[in-house]
Amino acid sequence: MTDEREITLTVNGTEHTVEVEPRRLLVHAIREDLDLTGTHIGCDTGNCGACTVLKDGEPVKSCLMFAAQADGAEILTVEGMEDLPEADGIHPLQEGFREEHGLQCGYCTPGMLMSGKALLDEDPDPDEETIRDAISGNLCRCTGYQNIVRSIEYAADELADRAAADGGAVAADAGTDGGTAQTPSPEDGHEPPAVGGDADTFCGREDCCGGPSGADPFDRDALLDDADDATDAADRAAEAADDATDRGDSV
Amino acid sequence: MKSAPFEHHEPETVDEAVSLLESLDDPTILAGGQSLVPMLRFRLANPDVVVDINGIDSLDYLSEEDGHLRVGALARHADVADSDVIDDRYGSFADAAPLVADPQIRNRGTVVGSVAQADPKGDWGSVLLAHEGEVIARGPDGDRAIPADEFFLLPYDTTLGEDELITEVRVPVPGSNEGSAYHKLKRKTGDYAMAGVGVRLTFDDDGTIESAGIGMTAVDITNARATDAEEHLEGERPSPDLFAAAGELAAEQSNPESDEHGGADYKARMVDVLTQRALGDAAERAGTVTVKRRVTQ
């Protein structure tokens, strides 16, 4: 009566076929069958949101649905963020959490990133209240949320800047509205990721401060590559802005 | 923690679901699962058979039809919050939807599932009571319309038959002289209500209250109507004194329990406050003269 059944889950773009009992939760299928342990189990009651994943683009708590109910669905977990079109080495949200100290113990972070991603897909320029509502299903016991809000704001700004720099190409891929993107300028005070700064302040521990770890989404080498790329992108953006100013365009 | 093992059925039509309900032994219906899945995992519910209705596409609707707003059994809370159908006339629905739990849960949980769960802390039961709505159940003998105020029996217990499936809940389409609102007090975003009040006011052309509906959340053993307050309002013209009296009557008729979130007296007082606020919003939305509230934030 508890026969296993075969289901297909497309997780982070890769199709997987797994055999599950009807009672198997989606979060257990993701963590144990697919070995993607970035998605966390926090409270086991549906309160904390650490298990949040995107199912067909919508944030859901993967401890509150059975794996069989996700048969045929597209799932995004934290492991897939670096491969998204808007990611450049790491995802702007991950970069935001690093830059703005959006995590301390990091347990809630994968879920926060998923809720943040769902929010920015819907609303590329959210105000603080909207951000707080979007993460209201995710509990954090360390940060007091202030820096998490700032991290998501950072990502929104970063995406807008990149959209402007790339002429809207990234924004279109990411489902954001290129038309509302801001052109970066010295006045808005936005700085590209600090390359030397992070490298210099790395504390030396694995899995901390962007330190080295194979599974760490905040991979240091990737970060450094990313920072180089971002610097280049920022340079291009500044040039584009200068060109626009020269032409007298109203941007 | 894992659920006990169960047999999982996924019907694709309502008829298929109903015949499963009829033939299987003590089946449990799974819709959004945002309450049921934790109950299964903590083994508060131990069904041998689960009938998962998420594959019945014909139940995924939210529409205005035949004089009713019809909310199909697979319409999620987020669908109500995002729907174009839910416009200014449906103030109580627009108020309640974003107050249910949190974004993730609103993406999965359903309005009908919340009503069927019959948790006295559920928000939709009060909205349904305020609008004098109905629960539509399909059983072996066809459809049955159950008035909302005959639906709730006890916490988690309703007059739904064991072989019946709720296909929709519905409320009459509001006329131009109607306004509604839902107010909820909770400790933090995403919590269940400590107290909640849903209100509907329908006015005559001369501005007199023709009919009133008030449903209360989390202050009795089920979602409950505040009938004394409703009767007091009907036939009267809106005023701060009238709404204050209605608030007091609702508080008197409520039956809250003290718990870690607040004492019974406090919750009854909150029913009074929330009723007055919701009445003020409903009157304003109906297009009558704004009634200055006696109770302020």
Residue B182 has phi, psi (to 5 degrees) of -135, 125
Is residue A14 domain-shared with residue A97, that is, in the same domain? no
Query: With contact defined as beta carbons under 8 Å apart, do A216 and A223 qualify?
Result: no
Place of tokens 């697979």: B74
| 3-state class (DSSP) for residue A105 | coil
Q: Is B5 close to A134, i.e. CB distance below 8 A?
A: no
Residue of B nearest to A66 (CA): B37
Q: For the CA atoms of chain B, what is the radius of gyration? A: 19
Q: Which chain A residues touch B26 with a CB distance below 8 Å? A: none
Contacts of B105 in chain A (CB under 8 A): 46, 61, 64, 137
Asked whether residue A140 falls in the same domain as residue A164, the answer is yes
Mark whether A213 and A114 lie in a shared domain.
Answer: yes
Task: Tell me the CB-side half-sphere exposure of residue A172, using CA atoms within 13 A.
Answer: 5
Name the residue among A104, A113, A101, A105 with its Cα closest to residue A138: A113
CB of B50 within 8 Å of a chain A CB? The answer is yes
Same domain, A115 and A208: yes
* End-of-domain residue from the set A29, A56, A77: A77
Q: Confirm or reject contact between B41 and chain A (CB < 8 A).
A: yes
Ordered by where they begin, the domains of chain B are: 7-54 (3.30.43.10), 57-172 (3.30.465.10), 178-285 (3.30.390.50)
The DSSP code sequence of B192-208 is: PPSEEEEEEEEE-TTS-
Residue A117 and residue A91 share a domain: yes
Strands B62-65 and B49-52: unpaired
Q: Is A17 on the interface with B (CB under 8 A)?
A: no
Task: Say yes or no: A10 and A109 in one domain.
Answer: no
- Residue pLDDT, tens place only, B193-208: 999 999 999 999 999 9
Same structural domain, A65 and A119: no
If asked whether residues A89 and A132 sit together in one domain, one would say yes
pTM, entire model: 0.83
Alpha-carbon gap, residue A116 to A114, rounded angstroms:
5
The pair of structure tokens assigned to A165 is 């720099």
Instruction: Read off the CATH number of the domain in which A223 is found.
Output: 1.10.150.120
Q: Range of A29's domain?
A: 5-77
Pairing type for strands B7-9 and B28-30 reads unpaired
* Predicted confidence pLDDT, tens digits, chain A (251 residues): 458 999 999 999 999 999 999 999 999 999 999 999 999 999 988 999 999 999 999 999 999 999 999 999 999 999 999 999 999 899 999 999 999 999 999 999 999 999 999 999 999 999 999 999 999 999 999 999 999 999 999 999 999 998 888 775 544 444 444 333 343 343 444 443 333 334 344 444 444 444 444 444 445 555 556 556 655 666 666 665 555 544 444 33
* Domain CATH for A24: 3.10.20.30
Same-domain pairing of A38 and A143: no
CB distance A69–B48 less than 8 Å? no
In this structure, are A187 and A68 located in the same domain? no
Same domain, A72 and A149: no
Q: Of A51, A77, A103, which residue constitutes the final position of a domain?
A: A77
Reported as type and span, the H/E element at residue B93 is: helix B91-96
CA distance A235 to A246: 16
Given CA atoms A103, A107, A110, A116 in this order, what sign does their dihedral have?
negative
Shared domain for A161 and A137, answered yes or no, is: yes
Which of A77, A106, A133 finishes a domain? Answer: A77
Query: How many domains is chain A built from?
Result: 2
